[in-house]
Each structure stands twice: as C-alpha cells, then as structure tokens.
Amino acid sequence: MNRLVFMLLMAVMPLIAFAQKTYYVGIGAADVLDTYLSPYSYKGVHVSLAREVQYVHTLHNLSVSAAFTDSPAGNVDEYVGDIRYGVAHQFELLNCNGFSLKAGPMGSALLGAIYNSRNGNNPVQAKVALTADLSVRARYDLRIRNCRFPLQYTLCVPCVGVAFSPNFGQSYYEFSLGVYDRNVKFANVFNSPSLNHRLTVGIPIGDNVLKVGYMGRVDQSVFNHLRYHYYTHSLIIGFEL
Amino acid sequence: MKHDIFHRLISVMAALLMVMPLLMLSCVDEEIPCVDSPQGNFEALWQLMDERYCFFDYKKKELGIDWDEIHDRYSRRISSGMNREQLFQVLCDMIGELRDGHVNLGASFDYGRNWSYWEDFPENYYDSIARGYLGRDYNIAAGLSFRVLDDNVGYVRIESFSDGMGDGNISSMLQLLAGCRGLIIDVRNNGGGSLSNVETLVSHFTNSKVLVGYVYHKTGKGHNDFSKPEPMYVEPARGTRWQKDVVVITNRQSFSATNDFVKCMHTLPNVTLLGDRTGGGSGMPFNMELPNGWSVRYSAVVYLDAQGQHTEFGIDPDTLVMMNQSDVIKRKDTLIEAARSLFW
C-alpha cells in the first residue's frame, strides 16, 4: 500500500513541480445584450480576475468577472457577474526555434447572472453552462539582448454543451410552480458561437515574469428566440510565479 | 503512425480555431433597430409589442383588435418634427387600444396608461368610510389590517399584495379571529403585488390541494406561439387554516395579483365574492424599453382560471352589490354591510 502511494506521488511530483501559476487582473470595455431583459445592448466597464495554473499538458483556468453597464439612453443600469472554470488537456503539436503550439480538449463550467435595475418581473437572467471546448496555446520566446520575452496566445472555443435558458416569454416565477419548458438547451458553435482569447507578452523580473496584454471574450447565444451577447475587451496585467 | 495522424488532426483543428475569431465576431446582435427618432421609437414599440404581448389572439376575439391595422393608422400620426410630448401621446394612444392596465409607457414626465377598467365604473369604495370599520385599535400583521366587528365578524383589509406576508402573520391573524362567525376580506382598491403572497394567503383557506388555474407563456414571436397551459395548484398551509365562511369584497380596482387572489378564492367552496366585478389584469407584466429610454410594460405570461377561461377583463362576483349613496351619507359601507348580513 505504502509502495503504491509512493509511486503515485512520484508520478504526480513532476507535474506539481512544473506548475506555472499566473494571476491576472483586467479592466476594459463591455457590451451586453440579453433580449430577455432589453432589446438593446448596454455598454460599460468590465473588470476581471483570473488564475491560470499550467502544468506540462494540463491547464486550469478560473476567472471571475463583472461588468457595470448603461442602457443606450443612459437611464438604466445593468450589472453582469460570472465565474468560469475550465480544465484543459493539451498536446504539443509543434516545438521548434522557440515556437511551441499546444492544443486539446477543455471542459468548462460557467455560472453567472445579469441584473437589470429597471425591470419588475423580469429583472434577472441566469447564465449556467457546461461545455466541451477546444483550447489552443501558442508561445514564442522573443529574445532581445539575451533577454527572453515570452509571447503567448491562448484561445478557447466552446464546441458543444448544455446551457440554461428560460423560454421566450417565460417568467422565473413559473419555475417556482414547477413549470419548465425547454430550459436546458443543447449548445453548439451554431447557436452559441463563442470564444475567449488572450495575448500577452512576458517581461522577466527576477525569477518571476510580469505579463501584459489583451484579453477578449465573445459569449453569444440564441436560445428560444432570446438573443445574448457579452463582448469584452480588456487590458490585462498578470504575474507569473 | 496513429499518433502522427492524431497530431495532424489536432493541428488542423487548431488552425481552424485560429481563424474562427474573425468569422464569429458579428453574429448575435440586436433585432429591433435602436434608432432614437420619432419613427424609430414608434416602430420599436410596435414591433416589441407585436412579438411579445401575450393577449393579441384573445383581444382580437373580444375587441376585434388588428395590430397591423393599428400600425398603419398610428404611423400616419408620426412625423420627424414632433416633440417628445406629442410622440408620447401618440404612442400611449396606440397601446391604449389594447385596454390593458398592465400595458404602460413610462417617461420622466408622464406615465402612459389605460385605466378604463376602473375609471369608467363606479368606485364602490370610500376609504374614510371603510377605515371607520377598522377604527383605531385594529391589528396590523404585515400587509393585513384586521379587527373583530361588533357583530362578531372578522374584517380584514388588504390594501396591497406587495408587502411581505408570511405564514406566521396569517396564522396569527386567523388565531385571533378564530372565535368569529365568519370572515370578510376586503380587497377593494388593491392594485396587486406579489403572486407569492397571494398563494401564501390562499393556502390558509383550503384543507386539500386545489387546482386554481393554468399558466402559459409565449414561446416565439407569433401572436399564437404559446406553451401548453400548465395547471397551478395551491397546497394547504401548515399553519392555521380557516374553516368557516369567507366573503371577499371586490371592486373594479381589484387588479392584477388581486384579481388572481379573487380567482383562487373563487375555487374554494366556502367563499362568496361580493361587490363589483374585479378589474382583471391576468397577464404577468414584463418590462422593456425604447431607444429613447422610455420604459415599456406589457403582459407577457397568461394566467387562466380553474375552468381554463381568461380573467383579463375581470371576475364577476357571486353577489353584485354597489355602493348606495344614502348609506354613504350615513357613513355606512353598503358592501361591508351586505357581507356582514351573509353571516346571519
């Protein structure tokens, strides 16, 4: 038994030892549309926190984001908040001359909500989704005067999954009565074409790396004739430990 | 060899993924154009109602409403030079055709409505007279004001269903009124509130699970795109339950959630409705907006009674009683007096 535990530890140790942890904070612009709440897009500020843990072949990503937006006329507020977790297993496809490319499947879970400050019986829209994604990570070590500046691009595209949506005119009160109507939807690249991507450049500081870059998020769906998009463009700063 | 093919497959998929961001960025966007002009706001309101209002089929049968014809008629009143007050008036006139108290237009300077469901009828309620029955030493339990009248009849006044109303409040009230011969629940001039409060209150008047109605919603943009009507039940409360007769007093301002309360109570065997027809308003309202920021409220979810019939235009009482002016001069409430007489 002890021998088995020892062997397992020996197998896992290299993975733990090579873990790269990066913490990001981001701020930027948000554009939100959810036609359950309003026919129009709301625009405002987006903030996010993310933690990425990178092993040899595995990537864990946890992010929390919020957006504070205004209606086109500027008289109504809409708030967005969500938490997303994803774990990917990536295969190395290319590794030459400082360039590496990895790709693989990813499983993601999203939990969030949008709140509209004006609405009475339809003030909130819940966002829940479980998806199987494809993730890609490209990295190039840029060298300037013996200094290494790693450029990294990561991309995640949800492919299939399940997502929650009320029906077109369904009230949340009906759920309390036990009335459900096509509320679990099959999500795919046609009815919910979405992606998350991030481009960073690393600046070595001692043994650590400061990362600066761009993060974009395109969440979209059309379920039960309800249209949704959540676009963000953020400047991000991260610290790799 | 297999490993190599697998890697190639992943490479192709990865390459496709790199290109996909460019392909997908303009997919899901607004369907109703956000054009802040008189014409743009008019079209936005008309389309929004066209796609989402839930009573077009019913009102076509009852009132002969043709929403396309209404568009043509009112679009002629729209011009690019009109000011916001003129535009507001035209838009209110248009949605007023639906004769629905839940259809409103909200601007910073006015609230557009069609309250003909009660404005065209006798009020049958004088607040100062009804308050005389409560006196000064009445009890207040959440949104319930109550006391025992001098002929040992319990009188409960509910001005709104918006205030929180818990099982504890209702049980305490019913315990205090337990010695009464009967109970009067006065919901005149009660414009509604929370359906949860309605359900909680009704559950204290039944000893068994009872079918109180049906609910359905829109599933698409067509006027007849509806879900299957689902039955709604009220389960008996765990707290104190009233076992004696009840009279519910209504008038034309008993609207929305109050109409729903009356609808539910009407399914119970020991309940009598007395007064005037209720104001209706059986659609649950949702909110939207126009490009200029005016808020739009409209009926989105349909609630039917236990027989599967609409109550959008109100519920008739079992006993029609109108306020008698000679009683008013004597500071008597004809409806309360008529309700009291039912317990003798």
Report residue B232 as tokens: 């709604």
Closest partner CB to B14 (pick from A72, A101, A195):
A101
3-class DSSP assignment, residue A80: strand
Indicate which of B9, B10, B13, B23 best probes the interface with A, i.e. most A CBs within 10 Å of its own CB.
Answer: B10
Q: Which residue of A has its CA nearest to B295?
A: A118
Contact A219, A65 (CB under 8 A): no
Radius of gyration of chain B (CA): 26
Segment B146-153 mean pLDDT: 97
Closest partner CB to B17 (pick from A157, A179, A218):
A157
Q: Which residue of B has its CA nearest to A157?
A: B17
Pick the CATH number of A2-240 from 1.10.760.10, 2.40.160.20, 3.30.56.10, 3.40.50.2300: 2.40.160.20
- Dist CA A156 CA A196 (whole Å): 5
Strand A147-164 to A195-205 pairing: antiparallel
Of B166, B176, B177, nearest in space to B239 by CA: B166
Per-residue model confidence (pLDDT) at position B163: 87
Per-residue model confidence (pLDDT) at position B7: 62
Distance from the B44 Cα atom to the nearest Cα atom in chain A, whole angstroms? 9
3-class DSSP assignment, residue B304: strand
Q: 10-residue block means of pLDDT along chain A (241 residues)?
A: 66 60 97 98 98 92 98 97 97 91 96 97 98 95 89 96 98 95 96 95 91 96 97 96 80
- Dist CA A124 CA B238 (whole Å): 31
Q: How far is CA B213 from CA B15, B151, B229, in A?
A: 56, 35, 9
- In degrees and rounded to multiples of 5, residue A116 shows phi and psi of -105, 125
Closest partner CB to B14 (pick from A75, A103, A167):
A103
Domain ranges, ordered by start, for chain A: 2-240
Contact B280, B302 (CB under 8 A): no
- What's the ipTM? 0.91
In this predicted structure, the answer to whether residue B25 has a pLDDT above a threshold of 80 is no
DSSP H helix total and E strand total for chain A: 2, 12
B21 Cβ under 8 Å from any chain A Cβ: yes
DSSP state string for B196-257 = HHHHHHHGGG-SS-EEEEEEEEB-SSSTT-BPPPEEEEEPPPSS----S-EEEEE-TT-BTH
Contact A213, A201 (CB under 8 A): yes
- Dist CA A185 CA A168 (whole Å): 13
Residue whose structure tokens are 């190395």: A92
Q: H or E segment at A152? A: strand A147-164
Q: Which residue of A has its CA nearest to B4?
A: A93
Distance from the A223 Cα atom to the nearest Cα atom in chain B, whole angstroms? 11
B9 Cβ under 8 Å from any chain A Cβ: no
Per-residue model confidence (pLDDT) at position A207: 84
DSSP state string for B74-141 = HHTT--TT--HHHHHHHHHHHHHTT--TT-EEE-SS-EE---HHHHTS-----HHHHHHHH-SS-EEE
Residue whose structure tokens are 């093919």: B5
Q: From the centroid of its chain, how far is CA B176?
A: 31
pLDDT tens digits for B167-196?
Answer: 999 999 999 999 999 999 999 999 999 999
Identity (one letter) of the amino acid at B98?
L
Mean pLDDT rounded to a whole number for chain B: 94
Closest partner CB to A177 (pick from B14, B28, B232):
B232
B193 Cβ under 8 Å from any chain A Cβ: no
Distance from the B266 Cα atom to the nearest Cα atom in chain A, whole angstroms? 20
In this predicted structure, the answer to whether residue B48 has a pLDDT above a threshold of 90 is yes
Contact B241, B205 (CB under 8 A): yes
Indicate which of A41, A167, A194 best probes the interface with B, i.e. most B CBs within 10 Å of its own CB.
Answer: A167
**Ordered structural domains, chain B, with CATH:** 38-115 (3.30.750.44), 127-283+300-341 (3.90.226.10)
Per-residue model confidence (pLDDT) at position A20: 87
Indicate which of A32, A91, A139, A230 best probes the interface with B, i.e. most B CBs within 10 Å of its own CB.
Answer: A91
Closest partner CB to A195 (pick from B24, B297, B300):
B24
Per-residue model confidence (pLDDT) at position A56: 84
On the 0-12 / 13-18 / 19+ scale of CB atoms within 10 A, A195 is: buried
In this predicted structure, the answer to whether residue B54 has a pLDDT above a threshold of 70 is yes
Strand B246-250 to B271-275 pairing: parallel
- In degrees and rounded to multiples of 5, residue A96 shows phi and psi of -155, 145
Q: H or E segment at B4? A: helix B2-24
Segment B28-38 mean pLDDT: 92
Q: What DSSP designation does A160 have?
A: E
- Dist CA B12 CA B18 (whole Å): 10
In this predicted structure, the answer to whether residue B128 has a pLDDT above a threshold of 90 is yes
Indicate which of A75, A114, A189, A231 best probes the interface with B, i.e. most B CBs within 10 Å of its own CB.
Answer: A75
| Among B residues 217-246, those touching chain A with beta carbons less than 8 Å apart | 217-221, 225, 227, 230, 232
CA atoms within 13 A on the CB side of B62: 14
pLDDT tens digits for A158-196?
Answer: 999 999 999 999 999 999 999 999 999 999 999 999 999
- Dist CA B124 CA A87 (whole Å): 66
pLDDT tens digits for A224-233?
Answer: 999 999 999 9
Per-residue model confidence (pLDDT) at position B45: 98
Q: How far is CA A166 from CA A39, A113, A181, B225, in A?
A: 16, 13, 8, 15
Distance from the A168 Cα atom to the nearest Cα atom in chain B, whole angstroms? 5
Closest partner CB to B54 (pick from A101, A169, A197):
A169
Per-residue model confidence (pLDDT) at position A97: 87
Beta-carbon contacts of A29 under 8 Å, excluding residues fewer than 6 positions away, are: A43, A44, A45, A46, A232, A233, A234
